[in-house]
Structure 1
Amino acid sequence: MDVAEQLVVVTGGGRGLGAALVRAFAGQGARVVIDYRRSREHAEALATELGDRVIAVAADVTDRDQVDALFATARERFGTPVTTVVNNALADFAFNGEARSHADTITWGEFAGQFEGSVRGALHASQAALPGMRELGGGRIINVGTNLFQNPVVPYHDYTAAKAALLSLTRTLAAELGPDGITVNMVSGGLLRTTDASAATPEAVFDAIAANTPLRHVVTPGEFADAALFFASPWSRAVTGQNLVVDGGLVMG
């Protein structure tokens, strides 16, 4: 199915990387549902800017009832099941290496919070999408990951562990859902210049990362979002269970 024919839910789509993902899909003509938790003003402004093929709906992805209502609203508004889910929602987190929790002080509660947002949220959205995708004979699930579990240049223990678990879920879902024509893949970025989460990152860190990439460049949210379009497009119809690292070549393999 061409991207222009798809109905896409982007979780955490009101701000930062989520907003860039919404813009990328809308720019290809897709109908897009912006899921948000607290960013109502940003989400509604983005929907207004992008026109009547984009709507903003409040839902906390850690609450299954709210997620089910989100998908029901999407179907009611556009008259078709959701074809594509982008699991982008992130539990509150700031990429600030100086303020991070260290190995001897980090709590299980911090881990649990990240697992709630990254894994439980993705599971809820994926499960809510399955009936409609099976009705259509296929679908796309795209999870947002990180290159930190391959190259933990800053040891964000809780965030990185949750994203590593999300990669495992990506692959087990891909194995089970392939016969239904549903592909499940991950797009993993490094530090992006700039999102709400990376706003606390010192400029010197961005410069150091750029200097260590073959492209001498820190990836932007828009560049990351363009890569995510591949997994939604017909060009990726034979690709599932994969993790595409989009970080300017900082991590290879």
Structure 2
Amino acid sequence: MSNAQAFTSSAMPLDQQIVLVTGAGRGVGSSIAKAFAHEEAALVINYRYSAEAAEELAEAVRARGGRAVAIEADVTDSRAVDAMFAAAHAEFGAPVSTVVNNALVDFSFNGEERQPADEIDFSDFTDQFRGAVGAALNTVQAAMSGFREIGSGRVINIGSNLVQNPVVPYHDYTAAKAALLSLTRTFAKDLGPSGVRVNMVSGGLLRTTDASSATPEEVFDQIAAQTPLGHVTTPEEFASAVVFFASPASRAVTGQNLVVDNGLVMG
């Protein structure tokens, strides 16, 4: 396939796509899945523990005339990921065209309970690297045969603005997201000739998800006051940016990290 052909195939309309969102049973992953459903993309709703919520979301999409299937898989297990892609192909009769790497390995977003730099163990880092970099590696490698079949592919990795502004001592989590940003760029360079675009969307605290549900209102208000736009990003706003990177509107964009936090972090 020539570069021109790859560029053309990368402009696949959203309503012709099959989009896999990892960790889509709840939280921001669910919001991302709903945003793609609104654009009439077919959905693969990946989950590990949230079976009931994932099945309910898939049923809600189908009830509105959409296409969706919920599939359980531990994305840190390459064999489980391969089986998930095979099941998705069997369900829809075509390869996955977009992968959103959203799933997060178990992590407590509580700055007061996190281990300080002089106490944290490297095993904490390896757990987060396995969940961020390892899982993304598994999904991209499993997706590549399908991407080559259709002549294009889109990978959107979910990052964090803590990489640019590490105001909370999430040392292991932030290091893993920084590594995922590096993977985003090196994969974009390597896979570009195959028509595969790889980008990242990074957020901060969202108002509100499961992860931020215990955050005091005064913390949200403090963050809002620091943003140029005067409010904390919602899951729906964040999800819209993810959809952009799968749409034909971003067909000339790869290797980029878009920080979506109402301007809290710039540059």
Q: CA deviation at 1:98?
A: 1.3
Alignment of 1:194 onto 2:208? yes
Whether the 8 Å contact between 1:22 and 1:32 is mirrored in structure 2 is yes
Match of 2:168 in 1: 154
Residue 134 (structure 2) aligned to one of 99, 120, 124? 120
Q: Identity over aligned residues, as a percent?
A: 65
Match of 1:6 in 2: 17
Whether the 8 Å contact between 1:189 and 1:246 is mirrored in structure 2 is yes
Match of 1:213 in 2: 227
Q: CA deviation at 1:208?
A: 1.1
Residue 39 (structure 2) aligned to one of 13, 28, 40? 28
Structure 2: how far apart are the matches of 1:218 and 1:31? 30
Residue 163 (structure 1) aligned to one of 177, 200, 225? 177
Structure 2: how far apart are the matches of 1:15 and 1:100? 24
Structure 2: how far apart are the matches of 1:192 and 1:224? 8
Match of 1:44 in 2: 55
1:46 is paired with a residue whose SS is: helix
Amino acid at match of 1:113: D
Deviates more, 1:94-103 or 1:31-40: 94-103
Amino acid at match of 2:101: N
Structure 1: how far apart are the matches of 2:28 and 2:189? 28
Whether the 8 Å contact between 1:94 and 1:200 is mirrored in structure 2 is no
Whether the 8 Å contact between 1:8 and 1:84 is mirrored in structure 2 is yes
Match of 1:137 in 2: 151
For the aligned residue pairs, the C-alpha RMSD in angstroms reads: 0.9
Structure 2: how far apart are the matches of 1:192 and 1:54? 25
Residue 187 (structure 2) aligned to one of 173, 192, 197? 173
1:32 is paired with a residue whose SS is: strand
Q: CA deviation at 1:194?
A: 1.5
Q: TM-score, normalised by structure 2?
A: 0.93
Structure 1: how far apart are the matches of 2:83 and 2:240? 28
Whether the 8 Å contact between 1:126 and 1:141 is mirrored in structure 2 is yes
Amino acid at match of 1:8: V
Q: CA deviation at 1:203?
A: 2.4
Structure 2: how far apart are the matches of 1:159 and 1:216? 27
Match of 1:111 in 2: 125
Match of 2:252 in 1: 238
The superposition leaves residues 73-117 of structure 1 with CA deviations (integer Å, 9 ceiling, x where unpaired) of 000000000000000000112221111221122111211111111
Q: CA deviation at 1:198?
A: 1.9
Match of 2:8 in 1: none
Structure 1: how far apart are the matches of 2:93 and 2:25? 23
1:244 is paired with a residue whose SS is: strand
Residue 226 (structure 1) aligned to one of 219, 240, 254? 240
Structure 1 unaligned segments of length 5 or more: list them. none
2:36 is paired with a residue whose SS is: helix
The superposition leaves residues 217-245 of structure 1 with CA deviations (integer Å, 9 ceiling, x where unpaired) of 11011110001111001111110000000
**Count of equivalent residues:** 253
Structure 2: how far apart are the matches of 1:199 and 1:109? 27
Match of 2:199 in 1: 185
Structure 2: how far apart are the matches of 1:97 and 1:204? 16
Distance 1:202 1:99, change over 3 A: farther
Structure 2: how far apart are the matches of 1:76 and 1:111? 36
Amino acid at match of 2:55: E
